[in-house]
Amino acid sequence: MELWPAIDISAGRVVRLVQGDFARRHDYGEPLEWAHRLVEHGAERLHLVDLDAALEGTPQNRAVVAAIAAAVSVPLQVGGGVRSEDDVEELLSQGVARVVLGTGALEDPDFLARCAARHPRQVVLGLDYRRGDDGEPEAASRGWRRGSGRTVADVLAESAPLPLAAVVVTAIERDGTLRGPDLKGLAFVLESTDHPVIASGGVGQREHLVALAGLRPPPPGRALAGVIVGTALLNGTLSIREATGACTQSA
């Protein structure tokens, strides 16, 4: 299971939100400094999100992303406000390894299909969800402000034939809380798609990573391809070395 340290960017700063709430955000400093620091401490890849673009739908921190891409040698996976094929082309031309499509993919499935066909294994489906009153996970869009009206199962089924690099699955209600990932939801996703699955949301300690590394839906099924960790690495609860080690173990 690959570790993807997260750098979420808003107004040119590294921030972490709790459950996607901009009113509950913590500032951690300069993105480029954090990128260097994480790589120097052993990060082999980075996950970047332009939070402002995710909310507004237009690039807000693209220059920051470009600066990080130019400064570090590890693969970057970048999302947030990618709503056009030109956005995808621009990010890839800057040296980004993978581009994450969230709202654009949900609102226009043909857009996701075109981008995946043009850039096979370089496009990632970003699937962020909340559970409805019926317990069914619903995909969210527009910076998590809006429900899409589409279930996670439906979106995964629709994306099945596409040459995607992965599906990033974020449990919004767990994100930034440090209280543990949604193991049940992730097991459901692993059962529902053949694409590599990257978990996001809720990791706060080593034991959470060990549980994710050992997650196998019956009979047993396949494992998670990766995990995104943000707050726990930024606040020092976990080190890159400790987190990387936990990703290779299982409970």
Which residue among 50, 52, 87, 128 is the active-site one?
128
CB 226 within 8 A of CB 4: yes
Catalytic residue status for 27: no
Which residue among 8, 50, 52, 175 is the active-site one?
8
Contact residues for 58 (Cβ-Cβ < 8 A; gap 6+)? 81, 83
Q: Record the tokens describing residue 48, joined without a space.
A: 């970047």
Surface-to-core class of residue 110, CB atoms within 10 Å of its CB (0-12 exposed, 13-18 middle, 19+ buried) = exposed
Catalytic residue status for 128: yes
| Best CA proximity match to 76, nearest among 100, 106, 107 | 100
Distance separating the N- and C-terminal Cα atoms of the chain: 14
Q: What residues act catalytically? A: 8, 128
